[in-house]
Amino acid sequence: MRNKRIAFLGAFLALALICSYVESLIPFYFGIPGVKLGLANIVVVIMLYTAGAKEAVCISTLRILLSGFLFGNMFSILYSLAGGLLSFFVMYAVKRTKKFGIIPISVCGGISHNIGQLSVAVLVVENYRIYSYLPVLLFAGILTGFLIGVAAQEVIFRIHKTM
Amino acid sequence: MKKRFGKRDFILIAVLLAAAFVIWLLISRTKFAKGASAVVTVDGDVYGTYPLSQNQEIPIMKDEKRTNILVIKNGKADITEADCPDRLCVHQKPISMTNETIVCLPNKVVVSIEGSTESGIDSIAK
Ligand SMILES: [Zn+2]
């Protein structure tokens, strides 16, 4: 059982890394260098419902550090950590209310992911003006969060069926 | 787990969308106005303010090293050269509207557009 669990977590980490890699290839640009869509959030959403919160935050942090060393730099690690951790805690908090489904939780995650990244950018350049990117990032977070939520929900239902 | 997308889920997403829309409206009210000058900040400090009406080339120096080149041409500000590894600031489009920015994260350089003179004074004071 323990081994099975470790294999399971390893597979999640691999999946999350692939998401980061795919994301590093997409020439998606929000106006602020380094701001990412947050595709790897799909793994966090799935894990929240199948593996548990502790596991989700562990794999998410590991993924950020590894992908930062592999495909990014110091800044991308900072951004991703802020975005990843903030979105994890927001999703965890919303999930604990037990009032909402997977899709809106993922949307909350998408939004907070981008707010986290933007906050780091503001701190790094010490210029509040780049908050003017907030609306774009909010809409982008809602859209990616929604799509990730739809996809994650399908995966979660299938995992629950086989378990 | 039963329902895939309930009424409550719909309401939450609608509220978030509405909030994003309101923020967009609030911020865009100050945007979409032709700017008067380009303000360069390095490490959060104002490096210089340059009128958009005057074509010029401004090297941005940091620790005796030229980090970025700002070019003002035909009322638009653009970073045309940079020594940062990602060069994302160079790829950003020229800007000319108030509140638009070009960010060079590695060098901590931000170019932003200020509005007409009266608003320009109080925004520098902030
Ligand atoms: Zn740059």
- ipTM confidence: 0.85
CB of B41 within 8 Å of a chain A CB? The answer is yes
> Residue A161: which pLDDT band, with cuts at 50, 70 and 90?
confident
A33: pLDDT strictly greater than 80: no
> How many structural domains are present in chain B?
1
Stretch (H or E) spanning A77: helix A74-96
Instruction: Please compute the mean of the pLDDT values over residues B55-84 and round it to a whole number.
Output: 92
Read off the pLDDT band of B126 (50, 70, 90). very low
| pLDDT tens by residue, B50-59 | 999 999 999 9
Find residue B16's DSSP bridge partners.
none
Q: What angle do CA B81, A136, A156 make, to 5 degrees?
A: 115
pLDDT in tens, A56-111: 999 999 999 998 888 877 777 888 899 999 999 999 999 999 999 999 999 999 99
Q: How far apart are CA A131 and CA A121, in angstroms?
A: 9
The 10 Å Cβ neighbour count of residue A162 is 5
Query: Which residue type is seen at A159?
Result: I
Q: Are A91 and A109 in contact (CB under 8 A)?
A: yes
Whichever domain contains A50, its CATH number is: 1.10.1760.20
Judge contact between B82 and B15, C-beta under 8 A: no
Question: Is residue B109 one of the residues assigned to a domain?
Answer: yes
Least confident of A4-13, A27-36, A133-142: A27-36
Is the minimum CB–CB distance between B124 and chain A shorter than 8 Å? Answer: no
Share of chain B above pLDDT 90, in %: 50
pLDDT number for residue B40: 95
Residue B66: which CATH number? 2.60.320.10
Give the per-residue pLDDT at A65. Answer: 93
Of A53, A130, A34, A72, the C-alpha closest to B91 is: A34
Domain that holds residue B89: 37-114
Q: Which of B13, B31, B79 to mutate to test the interface with A (most CBs of A within 10 A)?
A: B13
Q: Give residue A74's pLDDT.
A: 77
Tell me the pLDDT of chain B averaged across its residues. 85
Number of other residues whose CB lies within 10 A of the CB of residue B25:
10
* Sign of torsion over alpha carbons A48, A106, A30, B102: negative
Euclidean distance between CA atoms A26 and A74, whole angstroms:
19
B93 occurs within a structural domain:
yes
Q: Would the CB atoms of A125 and B8 count as touching at under 8 Å? A: no
How big is the CA angle at A33 (ends A32 and A39), to the nearest 5 degrees? 90
Cα(A108)–Cα(A90) distance, integer angstroms: 7
Instruction: Identify the domain containing residue A40 by its residue range.
Output: 2-162
Our count of domains for chain A comes to 1
Enter the tokens of residue B42. 């390095």
Inside any domain, residue B65: yes
Which pLDDT value is given to residue B49? Answer: 94
User: Can you give the pTM of this predicted structure?
Assistant: 0.80
CA separation for the pair B14, B21 (Å, rounded): 10
Average pLDDT over residues B77-97: 87
Per-residue model confidence as pLDDT tens digits over B9-53:
999 999 999 999 999 888 877 656 788 999 999 988 999 999 999
Residue A31 reports pLDDT greater than 70: no
CA of residue B54 to ligand 1 center, whole Å: 24
B20 vs A99, A121, A138: nearest CB: A138
A101 and B4 in contact by Cβ < 8 A?
A: yes
- Asked whether the beta carbons of B37 and B54 are under 8 A apart, the reply is no
Place of tokens 């999703």: A91
List chain A residues with CB under 8 Å of B110: 125, 127, 129-130
Q: What is the CA radius of gyration of chain B?
A: 19
Using alpha carbons only, give the angle A5, A9, A11 rounded to the nearest 5 degrees.
115
